[in-house]
């Protein structure tokens, strides 16, 4: 019994107080405040022309921008919530309507007849999305590492969706309001790549040991 008491005393002296995590909403706002400026700074590494908001399709582009931002914010919030055991997060089904609306508006912004291939800048778009997502990805993995998660793939996939959506919303400020079909395909390819990279790079850092 005496040995047990000594062990308890020793463990008590070695214990450190656990710092309570901020609320999920505050974590999202903190991440946005850090990630978006870093992403904007990274965007200057890719030469782009600012969007001409006087074009006829500009209002539709604004709606797409807002949908991408809302989808990104909700996905990031869900990723933070999902990383804490016992918390209920938004499911993929809840985010699906917003994603489908963005997808539908993107398709509707492809003119008929389609733009000439020479007018499409699909490869720079792909590069832009990957470049601006890189600092956001690093900050997201660092944030999730604080809590770790029992389901790293699910949490990181949701985080990757949020990061990709934020990158798409930033692209709207330096992209023609009309799309070439190949341009649209490259946007989707970049989104899939960002989600996959977030999972592959972050898994070992956020998984419970």
The pLDDT value given to residue 77 = 95
> In angstroms, what CA-CA distances link 7 with 1, 13, 16, 77, 78?
10, 10, 16, 41, 41
Helix (H, G, I), strand (E, B) or coil at 126: helix
pLDDT classification of 118: cutoffs 50, 70, 90: very low
| pTM, full prediction | 0.86
pLDDT of 116 > 70? The answer is no
> What percent of the chain has a predicted confidence (pLDDT) above 70?
83
pLDDT of 163 > 90? The answer is yes
Instruction: Give the range with max mean pLDDT: 14-23, 51-60, 111-120.
Output: 51-60
pLDDT of 123 > 60? The answer is yes
> In angstroms, what CA-CA distances link 66 with 57, 69, 146, 183?
15, 5, 30, 20
Closest CA relative to residue 82, chosen from 151, 138, 20, 29: 151
Residues 209 and 205: their CA atoms lie apart, in Å, by 9
Residues 97 and 64: their CA atoms lie apart, in Å, by 13
pLDDT of 6 > 80? The answer is no
Q: Contact, 198 vs 141, CB < 8 A?
A: yes
Residues 181 and 32: their CA atoms lie apart, in Å, by 31
Residues 4 and 168: their CA atoms lie apart, in Å, by 58
Say if residue 203 is exposed, middle or buried (CB neighbours under 10 Å; 0-12, 13-18, 19+).
middle
């Amino acid at each position: 019994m005496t040995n047990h008491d000594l062990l308890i005393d020793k463990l008590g002296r070695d214990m450190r107080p656990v710092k309570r995590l901020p609320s999920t909403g505050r974590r999202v706002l903190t991440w946005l405040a850090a990630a978006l400026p870093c992403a904007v700074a990274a965007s200057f590494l890719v030469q782009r022309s600012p969007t001409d908001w006087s074009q006829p399709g500009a209002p539709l582009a604004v709606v797409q921008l807002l949908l991408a931002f809302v989808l990104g914010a909700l996905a990031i919030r869900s990723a933070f919530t999902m990383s804490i055991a016992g918390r209920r997060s938004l499911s993929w089904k809840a985010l699906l309507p917003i994603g489908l609306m963005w997808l539908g508006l993107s398709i509707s912004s492809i003119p008929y007849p389609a733009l000439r291939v020479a007018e499409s800048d699909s490869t720079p778009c792909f590069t832009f999305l990957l470049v601006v997502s890189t600092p956001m990805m690093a900050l997201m993995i660092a944030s999730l590492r604080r809590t770790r998660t029992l389901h790293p793939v699910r949490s990181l996939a949701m985080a990757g969706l949020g990061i990709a959506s934020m990158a798409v919303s930033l692209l709207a400020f330096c992209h023609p309001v009309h799309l070439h079909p190949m341009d649209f395909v490259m946007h989707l390819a970049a989104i899939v790549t960002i989600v996959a990279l977030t999972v592959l790079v972050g898994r070992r850092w956020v998984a419970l040991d």
